Amino acid sequence: MARVSRGSDGFGRELVLGLLTEERSNCYQLDRRLAERFGSACYAQGTARQAIKRLKDEGLARAVGERRMASGGGLGARVTIYEATPAGVERFQLWMWASVSTPPVREELHAKIALCRPADLPRMVAIVREAESVCTGKLQSLNLRVRARRVDLDHDDFRARMDLVVSTGDQAWWESRIKWLQRVRVYLEDEWRRHGAEPGSRMVVRRIG
């Protein structure tokens, strides 16, 4: 299988290239499509602009015109429309057919737990608790998107069906994360008790100043 080298941005560039092979777009549209279709990846506004700059430098994308954006009923800023070049289409196809990499697990929380001392345990429990709440919030938001996709699903629309598959993958990811955090919280609380905390006690954090 052909190998595709990856830049420091992972495959964000290929993703933008893939969106361009689907249809010509400006950077705002690309950012919006990234958010709509890969919401859990949390791409920042401006991701598309950075990717386009690199794709242009590599001859994989090119400007094909300009258009004024609508703004409050009038004409807004002038934006550039991009498309994938033939080399870009070929590059995207290479990426599409290449095996996927196994992502490295570089988790800040893993590192903190690995490096924590007994005195840090109460704060670790609080951090895990907070992460668990945030993850359930993420799952909740994702559920809204999945529901909307299911309700509006056009069974003849291949892309919509694939987007739904990806959403269920995101759900599974958050589920496994929440379940791991649930286990870790209980485990760290046990450790904390082993190191002298009273059962059921809670941590108090004093602000400095």
Partner 1 sequence: MDALLSLRNVSLTFPRGRRHVVPVLTEISLDVDAGELVAILAQRAQGKTTLLRVAAGMDRPARGEVLFKGEQLYRLSDRRRSALLQRQIGFAEPLGPDIDLPVLAHVAVPLLRTHSKKEAYERAGAALARVGAEECADQPWMTLADSERALAALAQATVRRPELLLVDDLTATLGLDATEQVGRLLHSIAHEDGLAVLMSVSDADATTWFDRVASLSGGELLVSSSPGSNGENVIDFPADSLRHTSP
- Interface residues toward partner 1, by CB under 8 A: 119-120, 122-123, 126-127, 129-130, 132-137, 139-140, 143, 146-147, 150, 168, 171-172, 174-175, 178-179, 181-183, 185-186, 189, 196-208
Maximum Cα–Cα distance across the chain: 68
C-beta of 104 vs 199, nearer to partner 1: 199
d(Cα 185, Cα 202) in Å, to the nearest integer?
13
List Cα–Cα distances, 197 to 21, 118, 189, in angstroms. 58, 11, 9
C-beta of 67 vs 179, nearer to partner 1: 179
- 91 and 15 Cβ atoms separated by less than 8 Å: no
Least distance in Å: CB of 115 to partner 1? Answer: 13
DSSP class per residue in 107-122: -HHHHHHHH--GGGHH
C-beta of 3 vs 207, nearer to partner 1: 207
Least distance in Å: CB of 185 to partner 1? Answer: 6
Least distance in Å: CB of 8 to partner 1? Answer: 25
Least distance in Å: CB of 166 to partner 1? Answer: 14
- 34 and 15 Cβ atoms separated by less than 8 Å: yes
